[in-house]
Amino acid sequence: MTRRYLFTSESVTEGHPDKICDQISDTILDALLTQDEQSRVAAEVVANTGLLLITGEVTSQAHVNYIDLARQKIAEIGYTNSEYGFCANSCSVLVALDEQSPDIAQGVTTAHESREQMSEDQLDAIGAGDQGLMFGFACNETPEMMPMPISLAHRLARRLAAVRKTGLLPYLRPDGKTQVTVVYEDGRPVGIDTILISTQHAPAIGEITAAAAIQEKIKEDLWEAVVQPAFAEIDIKPDSQTRFLVNPTGKFVIGGPQGDAGLTGRKIIIDTYGGYSRHGGGAFSGKDPTKVDRSAAYACRYVAKNIVAAGLAEKCEVQLSYAIGVARPVSILVETFGTGKVEEERLLELVKQHFELRPAGIIQAFNLRRLPAERGGRFYQDVAAYGHLGRPDLDLPWEKTDKVELLKEALKEPASVAVG
């Protein structure tokens, strides 16, 4: 019997209050790492009507103007008009930063393995910045090997921001949310059940002032300018049975930090797999790469994507766990949900043999401390909105599939006992 079900994921635009905070946190990280690659950063941001608070812990030799950085990012996002209730030039910006705890720093700077003289390997020199567990996932539902619901939700959100910034739909304002419900049959996407877009907008559109007429105009424009382009490269399209909902409350004029307070790290499901895969609970933004919440989650995605790209599974989820101050993972799990072409024990052995999963090794493999020169000091802030994973618009090191041939060749060899 065919099993038919629905799965939904959401995304938000860069003007969403939580995403404003994520982007400012990562803008601060970019600026600090540009001047000092050894910066230890845990930058948290809170936003509310007319107010931005930057807090957390920073230990760095860099000298940056946090207030200027925040205002520049707010303006770039699009909050440049005081009518929006939050404006780059007029909001208050408060800074309350401390240094990293020395108790944490000693375990990160000199890992447990090095202190116990277990290894002279330089990659054992850096311990994990905290305990915790991380997940990574990949599947063959989309070209970027992401689940279709979150992939489509991000496409809509990026397009929603683009038509605002280019002036194609000038009445749109920065805050917005998207949501897509995909129809599945026996684990494969077969249709689009519902598309939902909530977008902040001006009180009037030209001569149109009646609320109902404004919403009808927005719905027509979004279908043509946002939905159709977002689905252009996707085989599965909306059809006559697809519901299309726009601003279901009737209007969305008050938004951004004026409508809701924002906070760094409150959109962790949007940042990852849209709920399709498990999540370890740790947020990404504002954290330097010694924080395994971030760097190890990227490594998990890298492992899972290479396994799927090599044709060894249709779906793959990888879990890592760490102890604070210890370099090597406490545990590694590979799960293929019955889609694997190879036994999971064999895949686990290949992962241990061919992927570097210690914090220093991950940092080195992905070059997470040295920001690409061609990006002009921008790196982490660019993944702080529209997802950290599966980004076809960005060249991200953890999205590479450069281990595919190695994995295929390794499977030709007899299985052996892996160490570590």
Catalytic residues: 16, 18-19, 44, 57, 177, 252, 260-261, 266-267, 287, 291, 293
How many helices and strands, by DSSP H and E, does the chain display? 14, 11
* Nearest alpha-carbon partner for 304 in 343, 333, 280, 329: 333
Q: Residue 246 has which token pair?
A: 């726009």
* Nearest alpha-carbon partner for 196 in 237, 167, 153: 153
Bridge pairing between strands 172-185 and 188-201? antiparallel
Q: Any alpha helices (H) in 78-206, and if so which ranges?
A: 102-109, 112-115, 148-165
What's the number of CA atoms in the CB half-sphere (13 Å) around residue 296? 33
Q: Contact 118/205 with Cβ under 8 angstroms?
A: no
Distances in whole angstroms, Cα of residue 37 to Cα of each of 131, 160, 242: 23, 35, 49
Burial class from Cβ neighbours inside 10 Å (0-12, 13-18, 19+) for residue 338 reads exposed
What's the number of CA atoms in the CB half-sphere (13 Å) around residue 52? 33
